[in-house]
Structure formats: C-alpha cells, structure tokens
Amino acid sequence: MTHQITLQNKRILLGVTGGVAAYKAAELARLLCGAGAQVRVVMSGGATAFIAPLTFQALTRQPVATELLDSGQEAVMNHIELARWAEAVLIAPATAHCLAKLRLGLADDLLSTLCLATVAPLLLAPAMNSAMWANPATQENARVLQARGVRLIGPEAGDLACGEVGLGRMAAPEAVVEALAGLWQPGCLAGLSVLVSAGPTREAIDPVRFLSNRSSGKMGYAVAEAARAAGARVCLVSGPTALPPPAVDEYVVVESAAEMMQAVMARAAAHAIYIGAAAVADYAPQQAGPGKIKKTAATLSLELHKTQDILAAVAALPDKPFTVGFAAETHDLENYARAKLSAKNLDMVAANWVGQNLGFDRDENALEVYWPGGHRQLPTAPKPALAADLLRLIAERFAVQTMKN
C-alpha cells in the first residue's frame, strides 16, 4: 500500500463539519491512523449533532477539539498550535456552508479559524444535497477555493441521504486517503485544477488561407495528460492539431489567437495553475477579406497587427493562477527566457530550442526551466516523459508558493 508509506507519521488535522456523511469521517480517521498518520480531529458544532466526539477520541486516541474559546480544549492545543502542527488539513465531510465560509475567510469557530491560520495544504471532501452542490453559489465557492490551491476530493454521484440520486455524495474514505497520500508523492497535483493551452493558432488571411506555425500540439497535449496523470482536473484549450482528443476533463478547440484568448481568459481564474504551451501567433492579418484573394497582382502585402498576449493577461489577473509560460527560442535562450519570466510576471518559464529540427513537431524535446531564484535542466526525453518531469517540478514550486502565501 503506497499510502501506508507516504502517510507514516504525517500530522493530519481532520476537520469534520455537520452533515449526514460525518459518519464516514470515523472510517476515514480509522484508515488514516491505520496508515500510520498522527490524526487530530476538530469538529464543528454541527458535526457533533451527527456523531459524538468520543467516537473520534476512541479511534485516534487523542482529545477532540470542538470549541474555539473552550479553555479546556485550548489548554490541549489552541487554534494556532493546531494550525502549525498540521502538515495537511483535511475537512471531510465539507458542507456547502463550510465551503462558503472558507471562501470568505470567516473565522467564527475553531475549524474555520485554524484554516485561516495554517500554511498546510487544505483538502476538502464536499458532501451535500445535489441541488446544493449544483447551486451557482456553491459552484463559485468551489471554483474560487480551487483557484487558491485548495484541493477538492469529490463529491461523487450516487444515492444521497435526502433520498435523491445525484452528485453530492462524499467521496469514499479510501479515495480520500488516496488523494491525501498523493500530497507526498512527488509531482502529484491531486485535487488541483490545471488549465493548459497547446498547439498553434491560425490567423485567417481570407476564407481559405491562414498564417500559422509548426506546432503540432504534442508538447502541450503531453503536458495536459501528465497533469491528469498527476491527479489534476485538466482543461486543455487547443489550437487546430491532427492529434486525437486527449483524456482530459474539458477539451476546448479554438482556431485563432483571439479565440484562444477568450477561451483561456474565461477559465483562468478558476484554475490553480495555467501552463501556456501553445504557439500563439504574435501577429495576425489586420482584416480577413470576405472572399478569396485573387492572384491578379504581382505582389501582395499583408498588414499584420500584434495579437494580445494571453500569458501576460493571465499573469496580470488579480487572483492569478500559478502561471507557467513556455519560451521557444532559436538563440540566446536563457536571456530571452529570463526576460519573459520577469516581463510577463510569470511564476515559471520552460524554455526550449526551436528551429533546425528542434522543439516543434518532434517526439522528443528538452527544457531549461527558470523561476524567480531558480533553474533546472530537464534533459532530452520523449515529450510525455519530459512533461511528467515538468509537472513534478511545477507541483514542487506550486507547493512552495502556496506555503509562502
């Protein structure tokens, strides 16, 4: 069992909020302890109406905390001590109310207060009635939390306690443990949402002709698939390619830089990580003619305008995702890559040599990866293996950044 090794001695703060699924948290506590983790349970007032603290005390052999201002509990470990003690905070079940409170940063009980005070990764296993989960308010809360780096495990579809069938059931305790253990597996992005752009764009000259580039989409598709394999929920926005649709959660095909801009910007703020692997056209014809241009003139001039920079626009968002750009260079790779890193305010840039049969439309590639204060070389490998290495590095840097914020 991999999670037995990864959870050994890990300090897990298990938060339980008030829903019928609270009974599943007891099994979760049992599994976590069985995997060798040190488990401390904090219950909301609502949770104690569904299951007694004594159950968790017996399972974890630790006192269970319920009150923010209870002097008895505070004497055991106060909210700041608990927040510092935890290597991960897992709330299961997490009610709709819990999601809303965390999104707003409210601190009106012990659990919500320590969630504000902790720098540990936060994982939520939502559980609620399907209409409550589908409600735009809950969906928005979930999106905002995910974009901040909070990991959601589930919910799952199935029979609900209210008698309905639908999406809202808490993920099985085993699946929750698996996702939690994923935090300590290298490069794992369990529960995070990742937005990837890939492929070329096509800029119309007239209804039958376009300007484009040599990108095949292989690198970006490999990045999207590696993110999925690392446990992330992945949206791939792709320019036109000859590749089969990859196994991702959302797949959006666009044609032009303007369409890619629109598709990416509509989604970026709801993702924790954005990886711009697309070869977006830097210039596009000023105006695409309505009819096919006839070859009557001896020469033809095209007036081009600069396209908007999607990567820079994502990095300029107030609540920007962890933003990773690519840099395709034929010379002076390091200088240009570092310049892009700072000019576009990126968290990381993956630079590759292109031209002379490198980078574009090849099955292999190599990357020089830069971030503020760091650099790593990812040597030549098939694009899927290289993408997996890159994703491990992104997960590492993302975790460091999340801890800092």
Residues that bind ligand PMT (CB under 6 A): 215-220, 257, 276-280, 282, 307, 309-311, 325-328, 340, 352, 354, 359-361
Closest to ligand PMT by CB, 179 vs 278, is 278
Give 279's contacts (C-beta < 8 A, 6+ positions apart): 199, 200, 201, 213, 214, 215, 239, 328, 360
Closest to ligand PMT by CB, 133 vs 360, is 360
As given in the structure block, the two tokens for residue 175 are 């699946």
Give 17's contacts (C-beta < 8 A, 6+ positions apart): 43, 44, 46, 47, 91, 93, 94, 95, 97, 98, 111
Closest to ligand PMT by CB, 59 vs 219, is 219
Strands 250-253 and 233-238: parallel
CA–CA dist 274, 262 (Å, integer): 14
As given in the structure block, the two tokens for residue 316 are 């300029």
Question: What minimum distance in Å lies between the beta carbon of 341 and ligand PMT?
Answer: 10
DSSP string, 86-97: -SEEEEEEE-HH
Q: Which of 98, 162, 188, 235 is catalytic?
A: 162
Question: What minimum distance in Å lies between the beta carbon of 398 and ligand PMT?
Answer: 17
Q: Are the C-beta atoms of 185 and 2 separated by less than 8 Å? A: yes
H or E element, residue 165: strand 165-169
Question: What minimum distance in Å lies between the beta carbon of 346 and ligand PMT?
Answer: 9
Residues in a beta bridge with 298: none
Question: What minimum distance in Å lies between the beta carbon of 376 and ligand PMT?
Answer: 16
Asked whether the CA dihedral 141, 121, 2, 16 is positive or negative, the reply is negative
CA distances from 245 to 239, 279, 298, 340 (A): 12, 18, 42, 30
Residue written as tokens 């320019």?
Answer: 239
162 included as an active-site residue? yes
Closest to ligand PMT by CB, 153 vs 327, is 327
Nearest residue to 189 (alpha-carbon basis) of 229, 232, 134: 232
Closest to ligand PMT by CB, 219 vs 393, is 219
Closest to ligand PMT by CB, 56 vs 274, is 274
CA 336 to chain centre: 27
Count of C-beta atoms within a 10 Å radius of residue 182: 22
Question: What minimum distance in Å lies between the beta carbon of 349 and ligand PMT?
Answer: 8
Give 324's contacts (C-beta < 8 A, 6+ positions apart): 273, 274, 275, 276, 346, 347, 348, 349, 350, 394
Question: What minimum distance in Å lies between the beta carbon of 268 and ligand PMT?
Answer: 11
Residues in a beta bridge with 376: 369
Closest to ligand PMT by CB, 111 vs 349, is 349
Question: What minimum distance in Å lies between the beta carbon of 250 and ligand PMT?
Answer: 19
CA distances from 311 to 200, 237, 322, 325, 349 (A): 14, 13, 11, 7, 11
As given in the structure block, the two tokens for residue 291 are 């009819």
Question: What minimum distance in Å lies between the beta carbon of 186 and ligand PMT?
Answer: 23
Closest to ligand PMT by CB, 193 vs 307, is 307
b (16+ CB within 10 A) / e for 233-256: bbbbbbbbbeeeebebeeebebbb
Name the residues annotated as catalytic.
162
